Amino acid sequence: MRLVLAAAAVVGAAVLGARAIVDPLNPHVLLAPTAATRFPIVILADGFTPDEESDFDSAAATIAAQVQAASFYSANIGLFSFTSAFNAAATSGVSTVGFHDPTGATECAIDWDPSTSATIDAVLTGVAHFRVIVIGNRDYHFGCAYDQWIYLAQEAQFYPDVIPHELGHAIGGLKDEYFPDPPASFAYSGPALVNENCWSGAPPPWWQAAFMTATNAPGCMGYTAGVVHAYDDCRMKRLTSDFCLVCLSLMNKAIAPPPPPAAPTNIRIIKASMQPPPPPPVATVRLLVRVNAATSDVAVTSVSEESRLPASTRARVGDIAYEITDGGQTIDTAVVPGDPFEVRSYAGSPAAPHTAARRDSANVVVYLQQATLAALRSRDVAITFYRLSPTARPRQDVTPDALGAMKTATPPQATSFATLTADALRRAVETAIATRRPI
């Protein structure tokens, strides 16, 4: 079996609670990284036997080329890299990471195990990945997106616009602009939409001053009334289109590199022989953190150390943010794009809208900038997750100062719902250092 080498260097990794791992063999880089790469994308084979490897290779190369050909991604190609990873299956069509036939337990045409996201990270130990495109050896064309992965049946390679659309969700937190044709009628009555490419407030929408050609037609997110979208011709509505001017502006803001974190001021004193070296100029610890919004349970499921810039953003691309503190001092903040607790399914037709459903728990990717595993052992770093009021500081970056003001506002505009304690993070880091492999 073969596995593509990392699209960006990964110094070490460990996945907690997962068992699968493959050794990196036979590199196959589809688009090499640059010094500016922040969004490494891995295309992972699932259910392909060694005799079917060429089928996967063809599909992976096709999907990578499709994304690179889309205008937004081609204009920012230095931020992206693509590799393919062949994880051989013993039986054709049988998943190696826990996907299986649908039973109605999920919102998609495929089901998965509770450990699937952690297992994917285990399989990709040593391979940097912002998102994983899983190509399943299944007939037909359908897709599902959750956590850090996007699952596609293999015939999706013949529909070139699915992944560019899905990355609009993953990077820019863009909303779907689909809605049903008449006589269907569904009025939007959810939380206010004032930051996104869908607008539910009083007119004019936020984008009107900057984009005077916007038509602001009714309909968005599957609703026909009570919400508008800017342009009829947009990738978030019609997969074959480019991003409209509004969505393009949101994507451009989301890909801007985040500022460096504040320097820690409370490093604990340890023996000189054990003192970790300072992190290199580009060093990031990536965590996969399972968060339950209903119970506030938090667990680290994957830890990796990478020599690349993080894919995090402070842009208001969603209403879930996290705050990184060191000894109680806020050193960094970031916004999770879109709704991490949402599962999106794709029915297989370019004209068919997504269906979406929310879950209580999700695996959220957290980036610790300018950090190494060794250095984290001597720091008291904790991570708190917040739900932001949709109308608070609309379209403003969620900086540490801004989040602080939202927390202390009356009533609060940012409410914490889960915390990964410093002790829990340190235990995960020490396990990663001790094992450098899944447990």
Are both 290 and 428 inside the same structural domain?
yes
pLDDT at position 289 over 90: yes
- Single out the residue in 255, 290, 323 at which a domain terminates: 255
Answer whether residue 349 is part of any domain: no
pLDDT in tens, 219-232: 999 899 999 999 99
Has residue 215 been placed in a domain?
Answer: yes
- Structure confidence at residue 9 as a pLDDT band (50, 70, 90): very low
Residue-averaged pLDDT of the chain: 87
Would strands 414-420 and 381-388 be described as parallel, antiparallel, or unpaired?
antiparallel
Examine the domain organization and report whether 15 and 157 are in the same domain.
yes
pLDDT > 90? residue 269: no
* pLDDT at 350 exceeding the cut of 60: no
Residue indicated by tokens 């929310």: 358
Residues 381 and 407 in one domain: yes
pTM of the predicted protein model: 0.89
- Residue 266: pLDDT band by 50, 70, 90 thresholds? low
For residues 193 and 310, membership in a common domain is answered with no
313 alpha-carbon distance from chain centroid:
11
Residue 27 has pLDDT above 70, yes or no: no
pLDDT higher at 346 or 52: 52
* Residue 426 belongs to some domain of the structure: yes
Residue 61, domain CATH: 3.40.390.10
Tally of domains within the chain: 3
CA distance linking residue 147 with residue 386, whole number of Å: 18
Same domain, 36 and 159: yes
Last residue of a domain, one of 220, 255, 290: 255
**74 lies in which domain range?**
10-171
Are 21 and 133 contained in the same domain? yes
Is pLDDT above 80 for 390? yes
Residue ending a domain, among 171, 194, 215, is 171
- Whether 88 and 232 map to the same domain: the answer is no
Closest by alpha carbon to 397, among 293, 312, 301? 312
Cα–Cα separations (whole angstroms), residue 292 to 146, 235, 360, 422 = 14, 31, 6, 18
Residues 148 and 251 in one domain: no
